Chain A
Amino acid sequence: MSSPEAGRSFLRSRHAEFMVVSAGLVLMGVGFPVLNAHGLLSDFTITLWGKYLCYALLAISVDLLWGYTGLLSLGQALFFSLGGYMFGMYLMLLIGPLGSYAKAGQNPAGLPDFMVFLGHTFLPPFWRPFHSFSFAVMMVFALPGVLALVFGFLAFRSRIKGVYFSILTQALTYGACLMFFRNDLTMGGNNGFTDFKFLLGHSLVDKDTGPATMRGLFIASAVVVLSVCLFCHWLNGTKFGLVRQAIRDGENRVLFSGYATANYKLFVFVAAAMIAAVGGALFVPQAGIINPDQMTPAKSIEAVVWVAVGGRGTLIGPIIGAIGINALRSWATHAYPDSWLIILGTIFLVVVLFLPGGVVSLPAKIMALWRARRASPAPAVAATKPAPDRA
């Protein structure tokens, strides 16, 4: 719809914000691989930033729910991991003769190593379709999507809101995490999946061809983040975007205006689950591992911190938050390994107390202060309105 919507980030219009996000992602998606191919950027950095981009997808999914719709989901790490596991199953089945047991000639059935270790002699039936790449990709969307659909339907129909919704999503995540820890689920137990070798015929580990595969994965991640941003940008401009934000700001009014708010929330919840899942699917080959540790409520909360720090309710905020905090973590866990959680906690506290709009609201705040100074004694009409304090 036509009217200008003052964004909360430093970019006044949401179109400008989208242009900056796109430009940044294109620059990164093209620049990094080119630098890497010419040896100016290490393979390690490419993989690291590829993972950051996957985390950005997780953060965007949190922001879509929390920042735009007012639903604080602590289950996004679950959807991220489920996407990762679905794609991981495909990767596991590609290891074949390169697995440790196979090399020792102890794996005639060509099972993933952990199954041989647990004494399985044949592949469980639900694993079989994962020989197919397209089936695995479909499941990356389908399993988290269906889970979100069923859970969301029940939760929103019962009008579960606010902190109760957060607790339920947390419980769901924790339950799933415990389930994946069990060996008899045949999903790798506490070790999860690792030791991947190939992806679509390209080696992930080969000294010569591996880096090219990783570059490809990095580019794929950048493209997916860009597509998701395009989707979010489009959504923000529709009437759906207006309704969604209205639900955040006053669900009652929306309900009494004839909108079945539960359906709107369900749509967002399912879309967010799929976005997190595709992030997880891209994460697994780049990280080389997926295990139930990725599925804990703590991981979900971490993603919430990224969004809070970056700036919720904006397109660019979660991306900045996810990349920024994780880059900081990579540095701090080397430099100050014992104090990382304290650093993270401090950042979160500072943002909550002094910068509720996140890092992206900082320039506007400084501008407002500066203008107020210049324009004193006239009353300072701040360029930013006070950021709302909604949980």
Chain B
Amino acid sequence: MSHPILTVEDVSKTYDGFRAITNLTFYLFEGELRTVIGPNGAGKSTFFDLITGRAKPDKGRIEFGSSAPGIDLTALNEYEINRLGVGRKFQTPSVYVEHTVWNNLVLSLKGPRGVFASLFQRLSSTDRDRLDELLKLIRLDAKRHWKAGLLAHGEKQWLEIGMLLAAEPKVLLVDEPAAGMTDEETHRTGELLISLAGRHSIIVIEHDMTFVRQIARDNNVTVLHQGSVLCEGKFDEVQSNQKVREVYLGRGKHGNR
């Protein structure tokens, strides 16, 4: 059996007594496209925070790397984890609004990240080709000189995905990519993510069930509830799971929890 590229084992995280994540165990395998769903407050964003170093777990193991032993991510900070090849897209599009689309991608391009390197680094022609290619992929070719702040919401989401790809990460963590998009844009985003699977290992957090159905296909869906994995399986299995139905549908009846 192959070793998972991302190992999360028995992880817990408490914020001021609130148990955001409880004994969570999760594996992501190379090339996999995994969708994570769950009601509000299920701990989805905290889950990403823990992987990317924004938050440190109270206990448990988070490791990265497809051969054992993996690299312990709990000992590293945000930029070190990113440099290993873990890219994260935030829920609200976070692009550099004062920079052009082009410069947003330049800043994200894989390469040295040090202060002194940045003083003397120049774009190579390979870099330029790569940026052109990315601009086409995210369909912002014609707007490359636009300030990112002037883009529409959906375009910002795409730009941020493009920025992630520019860094050529091994693992992509994508938080609600379809938020604020039209149906057509959502569909296209889904197609893009599907096409990326295989080359990258991807975790997508999403609320939009049509979108989840689109990208889940034969892949696994993980349902988070109160900071733990409620169930894991194919989309149809998950959808027909009694516990999942209770969590999603029963909340109204019994109040919150």
Q: Which residues of A sit under 8 angstroms from B107, Cβ to Cβ?
A: 239, 242-243, 246, 254, 257
**Complex contact A3–B78 (CB within 8 A):** no
**Complex contact B115–A257 (CB within 8 A):** no
Q: Which residues of B sit under 8 angstroms from A239, Cβ to Cβ?
A: 106-107, 118-119, 121
Q: Is A341 an interface residue (CB 8 A)?
A: no
**Complex contact A246–B147 (CB within 8 A):** no
Q: Is B113 an interface residue (CB 8 A)?
A: yes
Q: Beyond A1-B103, A3-B103, A267-B115, is A260–B98 a contact (Cβ under 8 Å)? A: no
Q: Is B167 an interface residue (CB 8 A)?
A: yes
- Contact bitstring B175-216, A, C-beta under 8 A = 1, else 0: 000000000000000000000000000000000000000000
**Complex contact B100–A252 (CB within 8 A):** no
Q: Beyond A1-B123, A3-B100, A3-B102, is A258–B113 a contact (Cβ under 8 Å)? A: yes
Q: Which residues of B sit under 8 angstroms from A246, Cβ to Cβ?
A: 96, 99, 107
Q: Is A5 an interface residue (CB 8 A)?
A: yes
Q: Is B94 an interface residue (CB 8 A)?
A: yes
Other-chain residue from A6, A242, A243, A257 in contact with B82 (beta carbon distance below 8 A): A257
Q: Which residues of A sit under 8 angstroms from B123, Cβ to Cβ?
A: 1-2
Q: In chain B between 146 and 184, which residues have their CB closer than 8 angstroms to a CB of chain A?
A: 147, 149-150, 163, 167
Interface size of A in residues (CB-CB distance below 8 Å)? 32
Q: Which residues of A sit under 8 angstroms from B103, Cβ to Cβ?
A: 1, 3, 5, 242
Q: Which residues of B sit under 8 angstroms from A122, Cβ to Cβ?
A: none
CB B103 to nearest CB in A, in angstroms, measures: 6
Other-chain residue from B79, B119, B149 in contact with A238 (beta carbon distance below 8 A): B119
Other-chain residue from B88, B98, B118, B120 in contact with A256 (beta carbon distance below 8 A): B88
Q: Is B231 an interface residue (CB 8 A)?
A: no
Q: In chain B between 44 and 94, which residues have their CB closer than 8 angstroms to a CB of chain A?
A: 52, 78-79, 82-83, 87-88, 90, 94
- With both beta carbons as reference points, the residue of chain A lying nearest to B144 in the complex is identified as A3
- Contact bitstring A229-254, B, C-beta under 8 A = 1, else 0: 00000010011101101101110111
Q: Which residues of B sit under 8 angstroms from A263, Cβ to Cβ?
A: 114-115
**Complex contact A5–B100 (CB within 8 A):** yes
CB A161 to nearest CB in B, in angstroms, measures: 15
Q: Is A388 an interface residue (CB 8 A)?
A: yes
Q: In chain B between 104 and 124, which residues have their CB closer than 8 angstroms to a CB of chain A?
A: 106-108, 113-115, 118-121, 123
Complex A-B: 9 CB contacts under 8 Å: A239-B119, A239-B121, A240-B118, A243-B107, A249-B96, A250-B94, A256-B79, A258-B113, A264-B115
Residues in chain A within 8 A of chain B (CB atoms): 1-6, 235, 238-240, 242-243, 245-246, 248-250, 252-261, 263-264, 267, 385, 388
9 A-B pairs closest in CB distance: A258-B82, A240-B118, A239-B118, A246-B96, A253-B94, A258-B83, A3-B102, A255-B78, A258-B113
Q: What would 11 more interface pairs be, CB under 8 Å, given A245-B99, A260-B115? A: A1-B102, A3-B102, A5-B103, A239-B121, A240-B115, A249-B98, A253-B95, A253-B96, A256-B78, A256-B82, A388-B98
